[in-house]
Amino acid sequence: MYKLSKSTINKYRTASLVVFAILTIMGYRKIIIFPVAMATILTLIEWYKYEKERFFVNLTKGVIITIIMTGIIIGLMKYSNWLIDKQL
């Protein structure tokens, strides 16, 4: 097994979260969830091997940030829909 550097792991993790968020918003949840989930799981396993002691702290931070970002995106979408409805 080759070792991934920390920056590479962060790039993979960020990319998979961004892709997942975008596809979820677009409504492709059921089609795309498997490959994205597999990529995320493999990245997490590699990341765990690389950085055991801070893994759960960083994972918790990542999950919280993802939930907050998803909430903000959904809120903005609902707000924009509300504005559109109000103007019509």
Number of independent structural domains in the chain? 1
Cβ atoms of residues 4 and 46 within 8 Å: yes
User: b/e per residue, 34-44, with b = 16+ CB within 10 A?
Assistant: eebeebbeebb
pLDDT tens, position by position, for the chain (88 residues)? 456 677 776 777 777 777 777 776 666 656 656 676 777 777 777 777 777 777 777 778 777 877 888 888 888 888 888 887 887 6
Does residue 36 belong to any structural domain of this protein? yes
pLDDT at 17: 74
Does residue 26 belong to any structural domain of this protein? yes
* pTM, rounded to two decimals: 0.42
Does residue 15 belong to any structural domain of this protein? yes
Does residue 76 belong to any structural domain of this protein? yes
Does residue 1 belong to any structural domain of this protein? no
Q: The domain containing residue 19 runs over which residues?
A: 6-87
